[in-house]
Amino acid sequence: MSAEAGQQHPLGIYLKIWVLLFVLSTLSYLVDYFNFQGLLRWTLIIIFMLLKAGFIIAIFMHVMWERMALILTILGPPVVLLFLIGFMVVEGGYTFGARVEHFGADPNAQPLPVTHIGGEHEGVSH
């Protein structure tokens, strides 16, 4: 059995991970529902996101049962994307600074409230 007969594993592990993904999704939705803000919000969102992604890759996509040669081929190359993120953070910050300096920006500006239209709620805002 195992790798040579394809990826065959007991059903139970899939069902457990399935339930776990539901719980994690609910938790990340609740972060928004209870309107957590600031550092707590970003930390929770990132943790739940990484846990979900990890379980999908490791269990559902069977990566944890693959051989090291394939695992590194899959997970190795995307590491360079971290550099792209780093560079673009610097670039984005610079562009923002240039825009504020040359065009000005209202530091207290808020997005306009959203008005939902359609159905029987034509024009009702909240």
Partner 1 sequence: MSDIAASNLAETKSGLAGLVDDWSTDKQTYHVPWGKAMMWVFLVSDTFIFTCFLVGYMTVRMSTAEPWPVPAEVFALSFFGGDPIPLILIAIMTFILITSSGTMALAVNYGYRKDKRMAAILMMVTAAFGASFVGMQAFEWTKLITEGVRPWGNPWGAPQFGSVFFMVTGFHGLHVTAGVIYLSIVARKVAKGHYDKKGFEIVEITGLYWHFVDLVWVFIFAFFYLW
Please tell me whether residue 27 binds partner 1 under the rule CB under 8 A: no
Residue from 37, 38, 39, 69 binding partner 1 (CB under 8 A): 69
Regarding 79 and contact with partner 1 (CB under 8 A), the answer is no
Please pick, from the candidates 39, 77, 122, 123, the single residue that binds partner 1 as defined by CB under 8 A.
77
Q: How far is CA 64 from the centre of its chain?
A: 21
Position 40 contacts partner 1 (CB under 8 A): no
Query: Quick check: 43 binds partner 1 (CB under 8 A)?
Result: no
Q: Does 39 bind partner 1 (CB under 8 A)?
A: no
Of 5, 37, 39, 123, the one binding partner 1 (CB under 8 A) is 5
The number of residues that bind partner 1 (CB under 8 A) is 72
Q: With contact defined as beta carbons under 8 Å apart, do 75 and 53 qualify?
A: no
- Under the criterion CB under 8 A, does residue 123 sit at the interface with partner 1? no
What are the phi and psi torsion angles at 8 (to 5°)? Answer: -110, 125
